[in-house]
């Protein structure tokens, strides 16, 4: 490729592929360079999200939840199933098929939108003074090509954070890739880190029969969530699912034996403990991925944790170089990455004027929804009680339990509740927190309400279908001003 193109996107995950498509839709000549290969060495677009993240994890969460329901819950409906078994390889094959459908789907979308797709690792070459294009060296095995682009969008994503005392082999010590590809449920599964991946992947294998022990360093459970929700979640995961969750631990060492893994740790009372498991998932966070990108050569600014530094519009310190998604600050979520991708594409198309702003233009992080796809699901948007107290903001609380919701009871899914936090002075919604059935879908109403600066009174005065799970949000909003009806 010798011609000068308008935009080169490095990375084909939800940040990069969406940015590339939007650029092309806007008439910009666009290339997307992505290094991900499937087991047959072919390009597999979609990044972490499609290959080893959002989509495969949700496929296994869905399958394993069916099995758990059949084994433990379906008899409440008067349906008795004896001898239900699980075929893990078939479950994994179904997951792989979904992944392939979506990764090849992006390749088709690229064709349809005129995005040129290049397989390989992209590196920004050092730019000489006076150059008005960026030269990107793309390496794929022994092949190398140079792409010249006026604008570059870096969307190289993130990688699992490693523990210093052990290497991931994806045989016995697993990261998300290994945890999504087991051929059978291990008898005993250890999980280090009770974060989003630890809980989702721990749930999958726990539902399929593994004895799961989760070891978490922080003194409290799910510290990013509202602590009332976190407490409810811990209770349900321990009692209903049977997960053993230990918080406040300090991992001392991990030893791989012939058939087992030994984890030595200090518990929250400083006692020396040992956990023997068959497999161990390490899910202790993710780090920005910038290896081999040519950062140092060009003086691309990164912060002390390795994230590429960007302004509110995702501009880096280099001219016409932007960065989006997990490789920059903000929540490591696919929908945040895509939103930034679209926004940067539109900025480039508009000619990126002199506009510099302190206001976050791209995504309002306060209204980015979070969802944990456990059972029950957990979802939230905005501030929680801890952050409001810390900021000294006076607030009112309305809460409604699913046990009092007709639809939830009909579904045999009465665990959990919805909580609405509203400003004590003007009633504006400051945060909404949910644990319960299908809250991954219910949270959208709360996001919409917050984006439109709604008050709890606004949600309270909207008619919600009956019987529906959404009535719980209605009742929680009514509850902010002590007007709940069914509790
Ligand atoms: P990535 O998806 O990581 O994509 C980066 C791409 O860039 C990769 O294809 C990589 O190969 C490529 N690349 C890197 N360097 C180069 C280079 N130099 N040259 C060429 N290509 C390069 N988020 C949610 O919102 N919802 C979920 O349910 C969810 N579930 C998750 C489950 C798991 C198990 C994991 C691990 C993550 C999950 N996430 C979820 C997070 C989500 O996957 C990420 O936030 C999202 O993928 C970030 O998108 P991105 O485009 O920034 O980076
Ligand atoms: P995380 O940040 O959610 O959780 C990591 C956990 O590991 C934390 O609770 C942390 O305290 C703990 N930890 C760190 N070091 C430890 C140690 N030495 N010993 C014991 N515990 C330790 O990170 P996770 O689960 O790896 O996921 C990474 C990111 O991927 C998430 O933050 C999220 O952005 C994204 N993701 C999103 C999902 C979703 O939206 N449903 C699903 C999965 C991942």
Instruction: Determine whether the shortest distance from the Cβ of 327 to ligand 2 is under 6 A.
Output: no
Residue 289, both tokens: 């991925």
Say if residue 376 is preceded by a cis peptide, omega within 30 of 0: yes
Residue 306, both tokens: 């390795």
Q: Alpha-carbon dihedral of residues 289, 294, 298, 301, nearest 10 degrees?
A: 10
Residue found by looking up tokens 């993130």 in the block: 158
Instruction: Determine whether the shortest distance from the Cβ of 287 to ligand 2 is under 6 A.
Output: no
Residue 327 — φ and ψ, nearest 5°? -80, -5
268, 284, 325, 373: residue to mutate for ligand 2 pocket, most atoms within 8 A of CB: 284
Same fold flag, 173-284 and 376-479: no
Residue 246 — φ and ψ, nearest 5°? -115, 120
Say if residues 397 and 421 touch (Cβ distance below 8 Å): yes
Ligand having the closest approach to the CA of 335: 1
Give every residue of the chain whose pLDDT is below 70, as ranges: 1-3, 353-362
Instruction: Give distance in angstroms: CA of 48 to centre of ligand 1.
Output: 3
Which atom of ligand 1 is closest in space to residue 373's alpha carbon? 28
Instruction: Determine whether the shortest distance from the Cβ of 225 to ligand 2 is under 6 A.
Output: no
Q: How far is residue 64's CA from residue 84's CA, in Å, rounded to a whole number? A: 12
End-to-end CA distance of the chain: 66
Instruction: Give distance in angstroms: CA of 180 to centre of ligand 2.
Output: 16
Q: Helix (H, G, I), strand (E, B), or coil: what is residue 206?
A: helix
Across the strands, what pairs with 352? none
CB atoms within 10 A of CB 482: 8
Give residue 129's pLDDT: 80
Residue found by looking up tokens 């392939």 in the block: 100
Which atom of ligand 2 is closest in space to residue 373's alpha carbon? 41
Catalytic residues: 466
Ligand having the closest approach to the CA of 280: 2
Q: How far is residue 154's CA from residue 8's CA, in Å, rounded to a whole number? A: 9
What architecture is domain 376-479?
Answer: 2-Layer Sandwich (3.30)
Give residue 198's pLDDT: 98
Ligand having the closest approach to the CA of 137: 1
Say if residues 91 and 60 touch (Cβ distance below 8 Å): yes
Closest CA to 182 of 85, 280, 40, 49: 280
Which atom of ligand 1 is closest in space to residue 179's alpha carbon? 34
Domain boundaries, the chain: 4-159+288-354, 173-284, 376-479
Q: What homologous superfamily is domain 173-284 in, according to CATH?
A: FAD/NAD(P)-binding domain (3.50.50.60)
Ligand having the closest approach to the CA of 56: 1
Which atom of ligand 2 is closest in space to residue 283's alpha carbon? 26
Q: How far is residue 139's CA from residue 22's CA, in Å, rounded to a whole number? A: 25
- Alpha helices (H) along 13-171: 16-25, 47-52, 54-68, 88-113
Instruction: Determine whether the shortest distance from the Cβ of 201 to ligand 2 is under 6 A.
Output: no
Residue 378, both tokens: 């957990």
Indicate the pairing of strand 4-10 with strand 30-34: parallel
Containing 34, the helix (H) or strand (E) segment is strand 30-34
Q: Supply the residue whose CA is at minimum distance from atom 19 of ligand 2.
A: 217
Give residue 359's pLDDT: 45
Give residue 359's region: left, alpha or beta (phi > 0; psi -120 to 50).
beta
Which atom of ligand 2 is closest in space to residue 333's alpha carbon? 34
Residue 418 — φ and ψ, nearest 5°? -120, 140
Instruction: Give distance in angstroms: CA of 61 to centre of ligand 2.
Output: 17
Which atom of ligand 1 is closest in space to residue 11's alpha carbon? 7
Instruction: Give distance in angstroms: CA of 52 to centre of ligand 1.
Output: 8
Instruction: Determine whether the shortest distance from the Cβ of 433 to ligand 2 is under 6 A.
Output: no
Q: How far is residue 26's CA from residue 14's CA, in Å, rounded to a whole number? A: 18
Q: Taking the domain 4-159+288-354, which CATH number applies?
A: 3.50.50.60
Q: Supply the residue whose CA is at minimum distance from atom 45 of ligand 1.
A: 333
**Each residue's pLDDT tens digit, 385-424:** 999 999 999 999 999 999 999 999 999 999 999 999 999 9
Residues whose beta carbon lies within 6 Å of some atom of ligand 1: 10-16, 33-36, 47-49, 53-54, 57, 121-122, 155-158, 176, 197, 289, 292-293, 325-327, 332-335, 337
Q: Can you count the helices (H) and strands (E) in the chain?
A: 14, 22
Looking from the CA of 28 toward its CB, the CA atoms found within 13 Å total 28
Closest CA to 321 of 136, 138, 146: 136
Instruction: Give distance in angstroms: CA of 22 to centre of ligand 1.
Output: 18
């Amino acid at each position: 490729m010798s011609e000068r193109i308008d935009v080169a996107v490095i990375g084909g995950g939800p940040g990069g592929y969406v940015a590339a498509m939007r650029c092309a839709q806007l008439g910009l000549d666009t290339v997307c360079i992505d290094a991900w290969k499937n087991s047959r060495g072919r390009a597999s677009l979609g990044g972490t999200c499609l290959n080893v993240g959002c989509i495969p994890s949700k496929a296994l969460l869905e399958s394993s939840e069916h099995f758990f329901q059949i084994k433990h819950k379906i008899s409440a409906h008067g349906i008795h199933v004896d001898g239900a078994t699980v075929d893990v390889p078939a479950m994994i094959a179904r997951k792989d098929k979904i992944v392939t459908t979506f990764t090849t789907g992006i390749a088709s979308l690229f064709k349809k939108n005129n995005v040129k797709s290049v397989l390989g690792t992209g590196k920004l070459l050092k730019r000489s003074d006076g150059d008005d294009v960026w030269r990107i060296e793309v390496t794929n095995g022994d092949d190398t090509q140079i792409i010249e682009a006026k604008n570059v969008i870096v969307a190289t994503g993130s990688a699992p954070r490693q523990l210093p005392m052990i290497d991931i082999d994806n045989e016995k010590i697993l990261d998300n890739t290994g945890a999504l590809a087991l051929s059978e449920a291990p008898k005993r599964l250890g999980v280090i880190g009770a974060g989003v991946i630890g809980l989702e992947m721990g749930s999958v294998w726990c539902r399929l029969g593994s004895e799961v022990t989760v070891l978490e360093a922080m003194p409290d459970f799910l510290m990013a969530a509202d602590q009332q929700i976190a407490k409810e979640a811990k209770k349900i995961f321990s009692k209903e699912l049977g997960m053993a969750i230990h918080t406040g631990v300090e991992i001392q060492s991990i030893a791989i034996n012939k058939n087992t893994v030994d984890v030595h740790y200090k518990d929250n009372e400083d006692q020396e403990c040992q956990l023997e498991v068959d497999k161990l998932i390490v899910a202790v966070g993710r780090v920005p991925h910038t290896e081999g990108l040519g950062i140092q050569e060009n003086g691309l600014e990164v912060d002390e944790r390795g994230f590429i530094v960007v302004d509110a519009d995702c501009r880096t310190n280099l001219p016409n170089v932007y960065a989006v998604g997990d490789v920059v600050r903000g929540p490591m979520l696919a929908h945040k990455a895509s939103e930034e991708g679209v926004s940067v594409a539109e900025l480039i198309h508009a000619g990126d004027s002199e506009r510099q702003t302190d206001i976050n233009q791209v995504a309002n992080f306060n209204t980015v929804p979070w969802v944990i796809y456990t059972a029950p699901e957990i979802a939230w948007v905005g501030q929680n009680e801890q952050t409001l107290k810390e900021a000294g903001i006076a607030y009112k609380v309305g809460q409604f339990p699913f046990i009092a919701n007709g639809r939830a009871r009909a579904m045999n899914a009465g665990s959990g509740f919805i909580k609405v936090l509203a400003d004590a002075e003007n009633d504006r919604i400051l945060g909404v927190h949910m644990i319960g059935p299908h809250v991954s879908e219910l949270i959208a109403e709360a996001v919409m309400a917050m984006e439109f600066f709604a008050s709890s009174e606004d949600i309270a005065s909207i008619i919600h279908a009956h019987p529906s799970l959404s009535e719980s949000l209605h009742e929680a909003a009514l509850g902010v001003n002590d007007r709940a009806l069914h509790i």
